[in-house]
């Protein structure tokens, strides 16, 4: 079966939101579980699609996962500056893992960033425990940028997001 990477369709927003939320929940990535405030952001694909490019991996008509690519200066950017695109909310359904879906989604983001005039870098934030994602990023040439690491919840000192970048 061939996996196709394309823009999410409106009728897939709820499904991709659930895939993303479940991936984060089942992997223990939300500090407050089902009551974590970030869960609503993960589910709100319509909001992301209105402000950024949301891509899905589809195989035989089934959505396997998705990712958000935020253009330079986009309202959903956490760390991207001028000339940088930002990858956010990469998620693959548990049943579809281990088949290269996550890597295909990241590659698609890099390809789109390369074709964007003025874009010189792709950046992203990740959690310490996202080891499979780290391997994808490093395999594709991303390097750690500890000077950009940041805390999304300043009141909680133990939450630190790691950052990576890929110069195009």
Q: What is the mean pLDDT of the chain?
A: 94
Angle (nearest 5°) at CA 54 between 26 and 86: 85
Question: What residue ranges do the domains of the chain occupy?
Answer: 4-167
Alpha carbon distances (Å) from 88 to 26, 77, 79, 91, 164: 18, 8, 10, 9, 12
The number of residues making up the chain comes to 168
The CA distance from 125 to 136, in Å, is 13
E-state strands within 3-157: 4-7, 53-59, 62-70, 84-92, 121-126, 143-144
Predicted local confidence at residue 85, as pLDDT: 98
Predicted local confidence at residue 141, as pLDDT: 98
Predicted local confidence at residue 157, as pLDDT: 64
Alpha carbon distances (Å) from 45 to 48, 64, 163: 5, 15, 23
pLDDT tens column, 77-98: 999 999 999 999 999 999 999 9
- Class (C level, CATH) for 4-167: alpha beta
pLDDT band at 156 (very low <50, low <70, confident <90, very high): low
Helix 101-114, helix 131-139: angle, nearest 10: 50
Predicted local confidence at residue 159, as pLDDT: 76
pLDDT tens column, 16-58: 999 999 999 999 998 778 998 899 999 999 999 999 999 999 9
């Amino acid at each position: 079966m061939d996996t196709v990477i394309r823009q999410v369709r409106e009728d897939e927003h709820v499904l991709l939101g659930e895939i993303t939320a479940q991936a984060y929940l089942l992997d223990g990535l939300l500090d407050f579980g089902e009551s974590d405030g970030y869960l609503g952001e993960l589910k709100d694909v319509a909001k992301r699609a209105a402000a950024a490019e949301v891509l899905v991996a589809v195989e035989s008509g089934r959505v396997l996962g998705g990712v958000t690519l935020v253009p330079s200066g986009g309202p959903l950017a956490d760390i991207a500056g001028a000339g940088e695109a930002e990858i956010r909310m990469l998620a693959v359904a548990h049943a579809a893992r281990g088949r290269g879906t996550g890597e295909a989604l990241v590659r698609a983001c890099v390809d789109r960033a390369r074709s964007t005039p003025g874009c010189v870098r792709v950046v992203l934030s990740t959690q310490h425990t996202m080891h499979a994602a780290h391997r994808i990023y490093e395999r594709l040439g991303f390097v750690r940028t500890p000077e950009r690491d940041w805390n999304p919840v300043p009141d909680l000192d133990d939450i630190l997001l790691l950052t990576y970048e890929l110069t195009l």
